[in-house]
Amino acid sequence: MKSSILKRVGTLVLALALLCAAALVVGAAGQDAKATKAATLPQKAAPKTGVTVYANQKASVDASNLSEGYIMVKYTGGKSVRIKVQITKSGGTTYTYDLNNAGTVETFPLTEGDGTYTVKVFENTSGTKYAQAFSTSVTMTLRNDFLPFLYPNQYVNYTMDSQTVAVGAQLCTNKTDDLAKVTAVFDWVVDNFTYDYDKAATVQSGYLPVVDTVLAARKGICFDYAAVMSAMLRSQNIPCKLVVGYAGDIYHAWINVYVEGVGWIDKAIYFDGQNWTLMDPTFTSTGNRSQSIMQYVTDKTNYTQKYAY
């Protein structure tokens, strides 16, 4: 009897050990898959529409490209009032956007990784008051972690026919690696753009860059610089975050870039021949790369990120 009990206990212990080993193998495989997903640059997919849509009479959210990291939102309420979209990941940051009231689709990125996002559409009722017109939730599992930063969206708005994309392609011709492409784009924008102080003094809330207009003018505010550079780099399949935050106590925009073999270059696209370092394109251009400006933009403590698009 005692021998039978011991035998059963031994069998149970062995079974538990095998289960634990299997769990470790599955866990390791999952971690490897996650690491591969995060480290491999993907090819972009053609946009899909109408496959997965959530809607009521006032708005629709097209989640057909959810695995690619973005959604498409349209207001259908027919009112000539200001419309807002709020996107919030569970436990994360709330992103608030303006949405046109003409019924035209706009693209919004989901930039905080896999998880459930709540999407709300609001109509202006009076003054600064808004009423909710629609709400839905979507759960995203990205095909690849870089995807939200490779596609156009409301803030980095371009098509493959954009002149900005054509100039980016020309700058990157005969560049054999991403480091050279990033450097070429950075140098060209810094050397050819000037800061538009008049625009900075009068720009209204809700302003969105039109990258080809900015390109033609060869001047703009920080948001314009970041949008043009992001469009050029994304069109070259280089992941690029347009970041909004603070440079000191000034509301500002800059870019983060991912380069294979290097990783994410936070607040930086400058290479001194040996090391990557912080190099905000707006301040660098405005200061004509003066020593004091270079010291400021290479000090990471001067920058605080608020949103990434």
| Phi, psi (degrees; rounded to nearest 5) at 255 | -130, 145
- Structure-token match 């206990």, residue found: 9
The pLDDT of residue 219 is above 90: yes
Mean pLDDT on 197-215: 93
Q: CB burial class (10 A; 0-12, 13-18, 19+) of residue 104? A: exposed
pLDDT at 173: 96
Q: In this structure, is the dihedral angle defined by the CA atoms of residues 257, 263, 265 and 271, taken in order, positive or negative?
A: negative
Q: How far apart are the first and last CA of the chain?
A: 69
The beta strands (E) that lie in 187-249 are given as 194-195, 219-220, 240-247
pLDDT at 252: 72
The pLDDT of residue 178 is above 70: yes
pLDDT at 101: 97
pLDDT at 251: 74
- One-letter amino acid at 232 equals M
The tens digit of pLDDT for each residue in 142-167 reads 999 999 999 999 999 999 999 999 99
Is the overall model pTM greater than 0.75, yes or no? Answer: yes
Q: Which residues contact 202 (CB under 8 A, 6 or more apart)?
A: none
What's the CA angle centered on 215, arms 70 and 196, to 5 degrees? 105
The tens digit of pLDDT for each residue in 23-46 reads 333 344 444 444 445 568 899 999
Rounded distance between C-alpha atoms, residue 146 and residue 177, angstroms: 18
The beta strands (E) that lie in 202-302 are given as 219-220, 240-247, 250-259, 263-265, 270-271, 276-277
**111 in Cβ contact with 149 (< 8 Å):** yes
| Phi, psi (degrees; rounded to nearest 5) at 130 | -130, 150
Tokens of 115: 């998880």
Tokens of 166: 């054509």
Q: What is the mean pLDDT of the chain?
A: 81
What's the CA angle centered on 99, arms 93 and 100, to 5 degrees? 175
Question: Measured between alpha carbons, how far is residue 81 from residues 116, 125, 126, 136, 266 in Å?
Answer: 29, 8, 9, 21, 38
Q: CB burial class (10 A; 0-12, 13-18, 19+) of residue 307? A: middle
**59 in Cβ contact with 97 (< 8 Å):** no
| Domains in the chain, CATH or no CATH each | 53-149 (2.60.40.10), 163-308 (3.10.620.30)
Helices (H) and strands (E) in the chain, counts: 8, 16
The pLDDT of residue 139 is above 70: yes
Question: Measured between alpha carbons, how far is residue 54 from residues 73, 76, 118, 154, 233 in Å?
Answer: 10, 13, 12, 20, 32
